[in-house]
Structure 1
Amino acid sequence: MGSEEFTVPRRTVIGGLVGAVTAGTLGATGLAQPARARTRARSPIVRGPAVRLVSGGQPRAAIVVEEPGSPLVAEAAQVLQHLVERSSGVRLRIVGPGDAFPEPAAVRLGRGPKALAAMAEAGVSLGAEHYWTHASARDVLVVGSDHDPGTDSNNYVNRTPATIWGVQRLLDDWLGVRWLWPGDGGIAVPRSSEIAVGHHTELHRPAQLNRQLRNSLNTGHSRATNAWLAEDELTRLNAEMFGWAEAHHMGTRERIAAPHAFTSWWERFGETHPDWFAVPPSGEGYAQPWPVAERVKLRITHPEVADQILADWRADGSPATWSVTPNDSTGFDTSPETMATDFPVGQDPLDVWLGSGNLSTRFVKFWNGLLERMRGERPDVKLLSLAYACYAEAPPPEAGVRVADGTILGVVPAPWHRTGWQDWSDRGAQHYLRPNWWHAGASAPLLPLQLEGGFVEFTQAHNSAGFDFDSVMGFWGSQNPRYYMTARLSSRPELTPDDVIEEYLTTFGGAADAVGAYLAHWEDFTTRASYPLGYPNYEVQDPDGLYSRAVRDHGIHPGITKGSIEALAYLFGDDVVQPAGEILAQARTDAAGDTDVLDRISFLSDGLTELTTVRNTLVLGKQDPDGMAFRTAAGELLELRKELTSRHAVYGEVAYWREQAFDQPTSI
């Protein structure tokens, strides 16, 4: 039996929406008329030659593991088998390369003879992170540039599951599968008794070098004083979180990380070389170590400082990348020699010390000098730093400095500062996005989808080497559309924020309009609230927003982390939360009988329940932290968070870690 004309799903973007289309053979004919976008959660339609996997409720293909010794190829087979079965109820058999099978077609995973021959004929070679998919006649072929170190399989930084990415690409394109949040319940799989893959040949790899969404779950578990997760449960949750991240192609083909680089220097050199450290402004009463030993700044014009940085680099084997990010917080050097390298010259020393000056020029000059010396010893070395706080903005043109080629900067921007991103590009920087936006909101459904999504889209089109988000705080029930937006734009950069929202809503079937109203409710609130996403300088887009009013009227902290927790008690009254609950009630009515969609709506509802419970607990704790009402509420919050953590609706231990760090009354 050869190839057949068959109706197969295919996602296509039409006019900013994910629409249904009809087309001929891929790459051979144009698109025909669009159909209505929001029906059930299913993929649009293409007609053309296809390889059937399932037809009439019967298996029409086997899954052939062509590399039986590869754990990643074996895992790819399991992913395909599981999700096809979830869609159709049909379990495709998995066989080895020499096994016979009765089905007329095959999905062949890995470097088997047919794949190698087809790749040679097409002139395809695979570089780092590439994966190749091909369908013709009776075979679907998937080959990836896998890398599996065999350790810490839950860390996507350490492995490249490119064959799995290829399988997930097929499921995305031809079945309409969407990975909304971690765990099997977060994978939206359209139901279909007919599954096929249209004829095609495609070579893909992630567009950006480095894609990191940090997982805060382990940190919360280790630091919350009332952590409860057993190791096996923690392992499961981490594995599901990393599985979600990998489905969105998180990983790296060039590790880019710029941690604060000098946190041990005071301990190492404070007694023997105190002159290596930042000079405080005279007459102000400051002394080193300031503000604490781990956060002291360097006197970067002292020649021995650069000598020691190079010595440390050499002692570590002169690696290909080296971080020189200044330590966090305040205490920048006010020595005359260093201030002479600033632009503008003559800034107030106290402003410089407290980090409210503009210090980018001094650091660019310092980095350029370091890199010139390092490249004399290793020409391919790259210097890494954050562009952060008082050195977040690029030097102005009149400063007359450019960033040396080989410097990669992690820009920590407000999501409305597109000109700031472009300014670094204009000064010659290769840079990556390193925001702290997701620390904002605490448990609340803070959803700046267009704002953040638009900025991510902009950076991808303007010299971005990738991103490193700090961090996924785990408020999945309330903020999962926010996480999904960034992840989806990364794995499918041809989409727009509107496209991502529309395909997200499509997974809610008949309740799509109601869930759209729910997202719009919270996006409108987010705009009116205007949280300080310009971290760490408490910058807001609207100084008269609800958040800034709460700072003035109720004394909440202006910062992104502590203030977000305190704001729960003031900004999320019933006048805000109750309409959201009513919208979800309408969504349940609209989704009656669709258990998959009802489960997704319940997940969103879990986020609202946790929000109102922690809000009430905070209010009672501030009124009477020793009272029985507070103790009862705190006990109920703990039990709720234990339940919701088990299904990713909230990472309760992370929430407690942040609340306890800022002395917020949510636990006994």
Structure 2
Amino acid sequence: LLGRAAGAPAEAEPNAFRLTVRGESIFIAGRDDPGEPLRDDVSAGTLFGVYELLERVLGVRWLWPGELGTHVPAAANLVVPELDLVLAPALRHTRLRFGGLMSAEAGWSNPAAREKFIHDQLVWLRRHRLARGISLEYGHGFETWYERHAATHPEYFNLLPDGTRRSDPMYHGGEDRLISLSVAEPGVVTERIKEWSQQRTAQRPWVNGAENDTCGKCVCELCLAWDGEPATPAALARAKAAFAAGEPDWWKELGSVSDRYARFWMALQAEAQKTDPGATVLGYAYANYHEPPLRTRLNERIVVAIVPRLMYPWTAAKREAFRTQWAGWSAAGARLYLRPNYTLDGHAFPIWYADQLAEDFNFVHANGLIATDFDSLTSSFGAQGPTLYTLARLQQHPDWPAERILAEWYGAFGPAEAAVRAYGDLWRRVSAQVDDQTLKAVLQRTPDGGSWGRFYLIADGIFTPAVMAEAERLLAAARQAAGAQPTALRRVEFLEQGLRQAA
């Protein structure tokens, strides 16, 4: 029996379910909300219960989108043991974005191929239980404020070193939406909570305290007084001189301004509690307030999005800095969600960070993680399959080590398992040899490359002809090992297609 027929509990958490096997009967009942089941913001508890049964009992694995990526082990007999499980997602919100450029119309052989892949990938994400049980769709929270409030309340906005209250002219030409706030100004708190009390919904109940997409740049006395280590007169003088000289990074002289934002979130919460005693505030650890606060204590109703300053290559120094950042915000008392950009890296090239990703994910799970939001899923399954499978599996099992997950992926290649593992190990070694100095050397001859959006311009400095030739040799060995096993052979051919695309 499924869903309502099995007695689904309406009061369950989003996407939660009960799976019971008793005698010859199977009962799967979960919280199922109205809406399209493939939408990740629609609770599909019964569906998740079915997936749990398929994985736990039949050993089904979803390697990548589509039929070829669906691994169903052969079995002469099916034995379903007695079970009685009540399960809910380990994380309240898990998301791998793939809209925008990732689903654009350019580059497809035809519109039907695009539509099929998008559908198959939605199914794949759902089978990995990616789900937004709560909404984190808040974004930068004050982008329209300057247009609406500058004339009547200029004090809401950053005081620049030249004494003006405007968007920094050296940052994207001074766009109004990119101005930072004077977060210590009491009127900012009052106005935000006024808006929140009028606009909040059951789906988006939290106070949005996320600054605009810029650094904290206010040098007014109120904001400086809120900083954990206020800028000295000498530092302010340097900031003013740098601003006057047209240096875009003048704000670095202010040091970390995390405490002013932490105090801002606490002030928002205090004001919101007058309306709702359980009010929760969301903010970002970002830009020049990415470091943990020095003096401000937060609480569990302050939710902070950590945007790691970590992109490929995953060096030990970068990872240690990220863990220090995460541990500091966790120790400050906030609940945290992971909002990285590093999955944008790599284009269609076989970069590898499965091991590092799992180790760091295990760490954040043990230190206050409640949600994830990855920007973005580039869908390079043929080139980055082990890493992307690890990424998806961790959303459901945040405490699993990489090797447990990778064993599932490699095991689906049957007689070619060992040969495909050798192929994956090549990319592990290649990526392990890359550090920032490697990229710096490549950039000397290709200065336009380097960022995630232009990685393809420098990829040949990593994936050299010799490396690609070795990859081809290893896949040829995997093809031979697959022999006459048709599914294993087709999966090896899928990897060959990924390698050809990278080449």
TM-score range, shorter chain: 0.7 to 0.9
Corresponding residue for residue 269 of structure 2? 371
Q: CA deviation at 1:111?
A: 3.5
1:67 equivalent in structure 2: none
Match of 2:304?
409
Query: Post-superposition shift, 1:553?
Result: 4.9
Counterparts of 1:290-369 in structure 2 under 5 Å?
290-291=171-172, 292-317=175-200, 320-330=205-215, 332-346=217-231, 348-349=235-236, 350=239, 353=251, 357-369=255-267
Q: Does the CA contact (< 8 Å) of 1:135 and 1:141 recur in 2?
A: yes
* Corresponding letter in the other structure for 1:335: C
- Residue matched to 1:584: 475
Q: Distance in 2 between matches of 1:463 and 1:595?
A: 45
Which residue type is aligned with residue 410 of structure 1? Answer: A
Which residue does 2:340 correspond to in 1? 435
Matching residue of 1:509: 414
TM-superposed CA distance for 1:606, in Å, is 1.6
Distance in 2, matches of 1:404 and 1:127, equals 23
Report whether the alignment pairs 1:554 with 2:449: no
| Matched residue, 1:110 | 3
Q: Which runs of 5+ in 1 are unaligned?
A: 1-107, 531-542, 613-668
Q: Which residue of 2 aligns with 1:573?
A: 464
1:382 maps to amino acid? T
- Among 520, 525, 528, the alignment partner of 2:433 is 528
Structure 2 unpaired stretches of 5+: 240-248, 311-318
- Per-residue CA deviation, residues 582-611 of structure 1 (Å, 9 max, x unaligned), is 111111111111111112112222221111
Q: For the structure 1 residues 128 and 246, does the alpha-carbon distance in structure 2 shift closer, same or farther, using more than 3 Å as the test?
A: same
- In structure 2, the CA distance between the partners of 1:359 and 1:472, relative to structure 1 (3 Å rule), is same
Give me the TM-score of the superposition, normalised by structure 1: 0.66
Q: What are the superposed Cα offsets for residues 53-101 of structure 1, whole Å, 9 maximum, x if unpaired?
A: xxxxxxxxxxxxxxxxxxxxxxxxxxxxxxxxxxxxxxxxxxxxxxxxx
Kept after mapping to 1: 8 A contact 2:479/2:492: yes
Quickly say closer, same or farther: Cα 1:403–1:196, change in 2 above 3 A: same
Tell me, in whole angstroms, the C-alpha distance in 1 between the residues paired with 2:45 and 2:280.
26
Please tell me the residue identity of whatever aligns with 1:362: R
In structure 1, distance between residues paired with 2:464 and 2:254 = 35
Q: Deviations over 1:134-185 (max 9, x none)?
A: 22221122211112325xx54212x122212111111111211111111222
Secondary structure of the residue aligned to 2:35 is coil
Q: In 2, distance between residues paired with 1:141 and 1:203?
A: 12
2:123 is the alignment partner of 1:243: yes
Please tell me whether the aligned partners of residues 280 and 303 of structure 2 are also in contact (alpha carbons under 8 angstroms): yes
1:470-485 to 2 correspondences below 5 Å: 470-485=375-390
- In 2: Cα distance, 1:168 partner to 1:221 partner: 26
Match of 2:245 in 1: none
Query: Are the counterparts in 1 of residues 18 and 28 from structure 2 also a CA contact under 8 Å?
Result: yes
Q: What amino acid is aligned across from residue 479 of structure 2 in structure 1?
A: R
Contact 1:258-1:385 within 8 A present in 2 as well = no
Which secondary structure state, in structure 2, belongs to the residue aligned with residue 141 of structure 1?
A: strand
Change (3 A) 1:321 1:331: closer
Partner of 1:665: none
Q: 1:394 aligns with which of 289, 292, 307?
A: 292
CA distance, structure 2, for counterparts of residue 511 and residue 526 of structure 1: 23
SS at structure 1 position matched to 2:392? helix
Q: 1:569–1:317: structure 2 CA closer, same or farther, 3 Å change rule? A: same
Q: Is the 8 A contact 2:92 2:134 kept in 1?
A: yes
More strand by proportion, 1 or 2?
1
Aligned counterparts, 1:218-233, within 5 A:
218-222=100-104, 230=111, 233=113
What is the letter of the counterpart of residue 550 of structure 1?
V
- Cα distance in 1 between the residues matched to 2:149 and 2:445: 46
CA RMSD of superposed structures (Å): 2.7
- Cα pair distance change 1:239/1:505, threshold 3 Å: same
Summarize the alignment of residues 11-410 of structure 1 with structure 2, pairs less than 5 Å apart. 108-112=1-5, 115-116=6-7, 126-150=12-36, 153-157=37-41, 159-216=42-99, 218-222=100-104, 230=111, 233-282=113-162, 288=168, 290-291=171-172, 292-317=175-200, 320-330=205-215, 332-346=217-231, 348-349=235-236, 350=239, 353=251, 357-395=255-293, 399-410=294-305
TM-superposed deviation, 1:273: 3.6
Q: Is the 8 A contact 1:294 1:327 kept in 2?
A: yes
In the aligned structure 2, how far is the partner of 1:285 from the partner of 1:167? Answer: 57
Question: Which amino acid in the other structure matches residue 156 of structure 1?
Answer: D
Alignment partner, residue 497 of structure 2: 606
Distance 2:230 2:254 in 1: 14
Q: Retained in 2: the 8 A contact 1:146–1:160?
A: yes
Q: 1:331 to 1:143 in 2, by over 3 A?
A: closer
Secondary structure of the 2:79 match is strand
Which digits, 9 at most, give the CA deviation of each residue in 1:515-561, with x for residues without a partner? 1112111122222223xxxxxxxxxxxx43x22322345324553x2
Percent identity between matched residues is 25
Paired residues in the alignment total 475
Under a length normalisation based on structure 2, what TM-score does the superposition of the two structures give?
0.87
Cα deviation, 1:639-665, whole Å, max 9, x if unaligned, reads xxxxxxxxxxxxxxxxxxxxxxxxxxx
Partner amino acid for 1:194?
A: N
Give secondary structure in 2 for the equivalent of 1:471.
coil
CA contact (8 A) 1:330 1:354 kept: no
Q: CA 1:271 to 1:354, structure 2 compared with 1: closer, same or farther past 3 Å? A: farther
Are the aligned partners of 2:215 and 2:287 in contact in 1 as well (CA < 8 Å)? no
- Separation of aligned partners in 1, 2:35 and 2:156: 40
- Counterpart of 1:582, as a letter, is R
The question of whether the paired residues in 1 share the 8 Å contact of 2:223 and 2:260 is answered with yes
CA contact (8 A) 2:419 2:478 kept: yes
Distance 1:238 1:134, change over 3 A: same
Q: Which amino acid aligns with 1:337?
A: L
CA distance in 1, matches of 2:497, 2:285: 37
Distance in 1 (alpha carbons) for counterparts of 2:388 and 2:107: 26
In the TM superposition, residue 354 of structure 1 has moved relative to its aligned partner by 5.2
- Counterparts of 2:449 and 2:277, CA distance in 1: 47
How many Å separate the matches in 1 of 2:109 and 2:218?
44
What pairs up with 1:455-470 in 2 under 5 angstroms? 455-470=360-375
Shift of 1:225: 6.4
Residue identity in the other structure for 2:501: E
CA gap of 1:174–1:317, structure 2 versus 1, over 3 A, is closer
Deviation string 1:343-373 (CA, Å, 9 cap, x unpaired) is 2222635366259831111100111111110
Which of 435, 448, 463 is matched with 2:353 structurally? 448
CA change 1:264–1:126 in 2 (3 A) is closer
Q: Against the structure 1 CA distance between its residues 226 and 596, is the aligned structure 2 distance closer, same or farther, given a 3 Å change threshold?
A: closer
> 2:157–2:166: 8 Å Cα contact kept in structure 1?
no
One-letter amino acid of the structure 1 residue matched with residue 340 of structure 2: P
Hey, what's the Cα distance between the residues in 1 that align with 2:167 and 2:50?
A: 58
Give the 3-state SS of the residue equivalent to 1:300 in structure 2.
Answer: coil
| Structure 1 residue 383 displacement after superposition | 0.8
